Amino acid sequence: MQATGTLAERQSRRPAEARRRRPDLGRAMTLAGLALPAVVLMAVVNAYPVVYAGIQALHDGDLLNLGNFVGLANFRDALTDPLFWRSARFTVVFSLCGVFGSWLLGFALALMLKPNFPGKSVFKILLLLPWIVPIVVSSMSWNWLTATPDSLLPVLARDFGFGRVMFLADPTMAMITVCLFKIWISYPFMMMMMSGALEGIEPNLYEAARVDGANSRQQLRYIVLPMTARSTYIAWILMAMFSVNDFATIYLLTGGGPVDSTTSLIVLAYRSVFQDFRPGYGVAISFLMTGALVTLSIILFRQIRKANIA
C-alpha cells in the first residue's frame, strides 16, 4: 500500500510539474521570438564586414587589393612587434584609468548627490556636461589648456615653481594628461550608473543599520558596496569596452604621440590600415583586441555570478 501510494503521488505530481514547465517554455519562446528580428538584423549588417575582415587578416594586400594569402603571418608579426606590446601596455593603463578612475569619481559624486538639497538637479546637469559635450569640443578645450608653453596649465605650473612642464610634449606627462582626460569625459557615465544603483537600495536598510549602531563607513562597506555590486560590474564591463575602443580621445588630443607614448592598440590599428596601407596587419590587431575584450567580459560576468548578484 505504501508503494502504491508513493506511485500515485508521483503520478499526481508529474502533471503539476509539466504545467509549471510549460509557462517557462512559452515565456522563453516568446522572448526568443521578440529578440529574433534584432539578432537577424545584427547578423545581416555585421556578418559581411566581420567575415571580410577575417579574410583580410589572412592576406597581405592593401586597401584596394586582397593580396596574397599569408595565413597567420599578420598575427605573428603583431605579437612579435615591440610597438604592439608598447601600445598594449598603454591600452591597459589607459583602460584601467578610464574604468577605475571614472568609477571612483563617479561613485563619490553619486554618493554626494544622493541626499536631496536645493539645486541638486542643476548641479547634476552641470556634472553631466563632460559626457554631453562632443569629444571634438572637449579635446580642443584640453589642447587649449595644455598644448603650448603659453597655455593656461603650463603657465600656472611655471608660476607655482614647477618649471617648464610640457603636458603634451613630454611622453610621461602626455600619458598622464590623456588618462586624466579620459577620466574627465567618462565619470558622468559612471555617476549616472551608480546613482541608479543607489536609488534601488531600500531606505529601511540604512535605518536598520543606524539602529544597530553602524556608522557611515560601515554602511558603505556592508550595504552600499554589496547592493551596488551588480551595477558596478556591468559599468566596468561597458567602460572597459569604451576605453579599449576609444580612438577619438587619444587621436584628437595627442595623435598617439609623442614618440608613440600614447599610441593605443586602436590607434595602431588605424595607422596600420589608413597610413601604412597594411589592412591585414591592422585587422589582425583588431581581432586580438576583440579576443582580449571577450575574455575580460567573460571573467567579469563570472565574477557577477560568483558574487551571487546576477
pLDDT for 308 equals: 52
- Whole-structure pTM value: 0.81
Region 283-310 average pLDDT: 79
C-alpha cell at 53: 575582415
Cell digits of residue 291: 579576443
pLDDT of residue 3: 47
What per-residue confidence (pLDDT) applies to 6?
Answer: 54
Q: Are 165 and 154 in contact (CB under 8 A)?
A: yes
Amino acid identity, position 171: P
Long-range Cβ contacts of 198-204 (<8 Å, 24+ apart): 198/110, 198/111, 198/114, 198/224, 198/228, 200/227, 201/227, 201/228
| Cα separation, 177 vs 262, whole angstroms | 10
Asked if the model's pLDDT at residue 4 lies above 70, the reply is: no
**CB hemisphere CA count around 271 (13 angstroms):** 15
- Residue 288 confidence (pLDDT) above 60: yes
Other Cβ atoms within 10 Å of 42 Cβ, number: 10
Please, how many CA atoms are within 13 Å of residue 194, restricted to the half-sphere of its CB? 27
In this structure, of 15-19, 136-140, 188-192, 193-197, the range with the lowest mean pLDDT score is 15-19
Number of other residues whose CB lies within 10 A of the CB of residue 234: 15
